[in-house]
Structure 1
Amino acid sequence: MIIVREVKTKKERKQFINFPLKLYKNNPYFVPPLYSDEVKALNHKSPYEKEIETKFFLCFKENNVVGRIEGIIQKQYNELKSEKRIRFTRFDCINDLEVAKSLFNAVFEFGKSKGMEICCGPLGSSDFEREGLLIDGFDQVSTFSEQYNYPYYQTLIEAIGFKKEVDWVESKLLPSIDDKKTCEKLNKISSLLLKKYDLHIASTNISSSKYLDKYCDGFFDCVDIAYSKLYGTVPFKKETRRNVIKQFKMILNPNDLVIVLDKSEKVVGIGLCLPFIGEALAKSGGKLTPLALLRLLKVIKKPKVIELALVCVLPEYLNSGITSIFLSRMLELLSSGKIDHFETNLNLETNIEVRNQWKRFNSIEHKKRRSYFISLK
């Protein structure tokens, strides 16, 4: 007998968090999220809590947990887009269609009770959370920013009636013998463009904490404007901005965040990279144990793989070429031999401009993710 229950007790919250850790135990490609972040989400203490309405569900079969899912109503997004959508995320289950149907029906009913007309996902509360269902690249280690899933998830979701809404592709950027020459060329171009548009790069000769605090609002203003038309994105409110920055402070080195400023010190462009910390957390199930912390500090200090979190510029500089500033920094790192490769994370398949940037590198498109939708009418 299959039973779905809304998560309400401490025991159920623990079962919800631990289920994927058991489902993917010994899977070499799965990277858990921070356990403490999951606890906050289940206790309705995430940075986005004021903008969302959410419910978590567990599925039981013969008293064993066999699946989980979260339904999110992103009220801010619905208001901005004049839509009535409920998102699903944190979907994990055994390879059983009836289990999957039962979980999604719980989300559908939650959405209908609030007047929602479409269910879509996997999507989190914002673009800074894990999103997209992996549909290609199952033999690749997931980045910390994204979720790994088994191939059968796609079969289950499509059998329920979900249709493709958008796809993202991910690329691996590897070293090349041409990196130094390309880097020198881009450095010259960058210098000329900085002079042409009267721009400069923010100084990083301050502590990580002060650097992030100083440019927090400018950073998010730039992201909000640059990403305003991208799929599923929402602007970050002031309180949410501060909470997200707190999460960054633990792993971010100021040199990993390149900020381009105009003559009035306004942020006009951002390039954000993060050390790949997934393997450091995998053994502890995302918990920050003493050993996990040691591994984490080692990776932060000398990362072998770097995740590209975002590159964005204000619309008025979109065709200026100032992204060459960020690309030259990346090529410089690759040519130095200090890192093995970059992971680009998600790029919309329709975002040809961004995908074309990676042609300057020795690049391989090695993963693909999908967001689905289904009508609730």
Structure 2
Amino acid sequence: MQTITKFQIKPVTTPVEQELFLDVPARVYANDPYWVPPIRSSEAKQFSPSNTFFEYGKAQQFIALSQSGEPIGRIVAAVNQRLIEKEGQNVGVFGFFECISDFDVAQALLQVACDWLREQGMTVVRGPIDFSTHNGCLFLVDGFDSPPMILMPYNPPYYPEFIERDGWYKGKDAYTYNFPLDKPLPEEFEKAYRIACKAGITFRPIRTKGEEFEADALKVYDLLVRMFTDNYSYSPQTPAEFLDKARSFQSLIDPDVFPIAEYNGEMVGMWMGLPDYNIALKHLGGKLDWFGTLKFLWYRRQIDQGRVIYICSLPEYRRKMVSLALIYLGMQGGIKKGKPYKRAELGHIYEDNSASRKLVEAAGGKIHKTYRIYEKAL
């Protein structure tokens, strides 16, 4: 563990400080073989006034600087009014946390975030959550021996150690599951697909072009709102927010691993899979300029695994075997001739979501990594 005898914590108020804030991860993970640098321009955009979060929330960035002015840590405290209205309590969040291996620095960052949230009238703080759980959340607490898949967090093992030492307690754990693709599914899944078809469920890949993509994306949005409104620390997005993020992934979608289920034209379920683009992004150094784009196109050829972000179906259609049928179709798409996928990672799934966990485990999934959100009273 490093020890910095003198440092300062200050709010980010200038463009120079903003650049230092964005520099922190590169220092923290300088020698970590598993870290995937975030795209710097995308991360900077999240703090732009144009981010729709600031229409209903507010936030303050803080940075830790060594005596020589080097960036050694950072944190963001945020008030998400939609989360407060949904939960009926003044809960604030912290996120974008990164810190060198020095407990005093980490504790000071957590303290300044809590102080700011207390000044805003918050009585509980939760994190890590980057503004909302749609954006990014969770500390990795077990499974540090492999890189993160696309859209999953990664951090050094000392982050959960530091936050627990500072008196935080577990809010909720979540798991990801490993799915090897060289083993066939139990026959019940193919049978479920046939039952669903006979019950009038139709299946098709998501559409990825023009107005058809936008229409499907809005249907996905409606399905997710209906399915996950009661999820832990969930706060609602607007259709515009969801569409903006969906468009950023439009060209990256593999329709063969994104089947959707419909009944009389209504989307009633989906398996949302994505190739693991982290395999390519790892080589870009956080820069998606013209040269970074060329490197991305080159290294994406090495992608041999995927992440399943959601498997879901509306409760009233589960008797029609929609969830099992989607698992069957998603796995069939992954092993289709010409596909590069050797394994998939599914999740995250919260620890108390027993129905989803039983379904995934019945299909052969094994817990791969464990993540956690922490809480603390203010």
| From 335, 341, 353, the counterpart of 2:343 | 341
> Per-residue CA shift, 1:185-220, capped at 9, x if unaligned?
523421321331x2222465x543433201222211
In 1, the alpha carbon distance for the partners of 2:231 and 2:142 equals 22
| From 119, 122, 143, the counterpart of 2:125 | 119
% identity of equivalent residues: 22
2:361 corresponding residue in structure 1 = 359
What one-letter code is carried by the residue in structure 2 that aligns with 1:191?
R
Query: What is the correspondence of 1:21-60 to structure 2 with a 5 Å cutoff?
Result: 21-60=26-65
2:306 corresponding residue in structure 1 = 306
1:286 corresponding residue in structure 2 = 286
Q: What is the SS of the residue equivalent to 1:42?
A: coil
> Alpha carbons of 1:298 and 1:46: their partners in 2 closer, same or farther (altered >3 Å)?
farther
> Per-residue CA shift, 1:259-308, capped at 9, x if unaligned?
22221x22211211111111211222222133432343456677411111
Q: What is the SS of the residue equivalent to 2:358?
A: helix
What one-letter code is carried by the residue in structure 1 that aligns with 2:344?
F
> Alpha carbons of 1:94 and 1:371: their partners in 2 closer, same or farther (altered >3 Å)?
same
Does residue 1:129 correspond to 2:130, yes or no?
no
> Per-residue CA shift, 1:345-373, capped at 9, x if unaligned?
31111112222223344433121111110
1:233 corresponding residue in structure 2 = 234
Number of residues of Structure 1 aligned to a counterpart in Structure 2: 370
In 2, the alpha carbon distance for the partners of 1:306 and 1:128 equals 20
1:219 corresponding residue in structure 2 = 220
C-alpha contact 2:205 2:258 (8 A) present in aligned 1:
no
In 1, the alpha carbon distance for the partners of 2:340 and 2:77 equals 42
In 2, the alpha carbon distance for the partners of 1:142 and 1:3 equals 31
Query: What is the correspondence of 1:22-171 to structure 2 with a 5 Å cutoff?
Result: 22-62=27-67, 63-171=69-177
What one-letter code is carried by the residue in structure 2 that aligns with 1:262?
Y
> Per-residue CA shift, 1:295-341, capped at 9, x if unaligned?
43456677411111112222322454211222112322454573111
In 1, the alpha carbon distance for the partners of 2:141 and 2:242 equals 31
In 1, the alpha carbon distance for the partners of 2:166 and 2:237 equals 33
Q: What is the deviation of 1:176?
A: 3.5
In 2, the alpha carbon distance for the partners of 1:299 and 1:329 equals 27
Q: What is the deviation of 1:160?
A: 1.2
Q: What is the SS of the residue equivalent to 1:366?
A: strand
What root-mean-square deviation, in Å, do the aligned CA atoms of Structure 1 and Structure 2 show? 2.2
C-alpha contact 1:174 1:361 (8 A) present in aligned 2:
no
> Per-residue CA shift, 1:34-67, capped at 9, x if unaligned?
2222010122433533232111110112122110
Q: What is the SS of the residue equivalent to 1:89?
A: strand
C-alpha contact 2:129 2:138 (8 A) present in aligned 1:
yes
In 1, the alpha carbon distance for the partners of 2:144 and 2:105 equals 22
> Per-residue CA shift, 1:115-168, capped at 9, x if unaligned?
100111111233332211111111121122122111111121011110011001
Q: What is the SS of the residue equivalent to 1:353?
A: helix
In 2, the alpha carbon distance for the partners of 1:296 and 1:351 equals 36
2:3 corresponding residue in structure 1 = none
2:247 corresponding residue in structure 1 = 246
C-alpha contact 2:175 2:349 (8 A) present in aligned 1:
yes
> Alpha carbons of 1:2 and 1:246: their partners in 2 closer, same or farther (altered >3 Å)?
same
Query: What is the correspondence of 1:271-282 to structure 2 with a 5 Å cutoff?
Result: 271-282=271-282
C-alpha contact 1:277 1:299 (8 A) present in aligned 2:
no
Q: What's the TM-score once normalised by structure 2's chain length?
A: 0.90
What one-letter code is carried by the residue in structure 2 that aligns with 1:268?
V
Q: What is the SS of the residue equivalent to 1:345?
A: strand
For structure 1, which segment, 279-288 or 129-138, has the greater mean C-alpha deviation from structure 2 after superposition? 279-288
What one-letter code is carried by the residue in structure 1 that aligns with 2:229?
S
In 2, the alpha carbon distance for the partners of 1:81 and 1:348 equals 18
In 2, the alpha carbon distance for the partners of 1:220 and 1:246 equals 13
Point out where structure 1 has 5 or more consecutive residues left out of the alignment. Answer: none
In 2, the alpha carbon distance for the partners of 1:312 and 1:46 equals 29
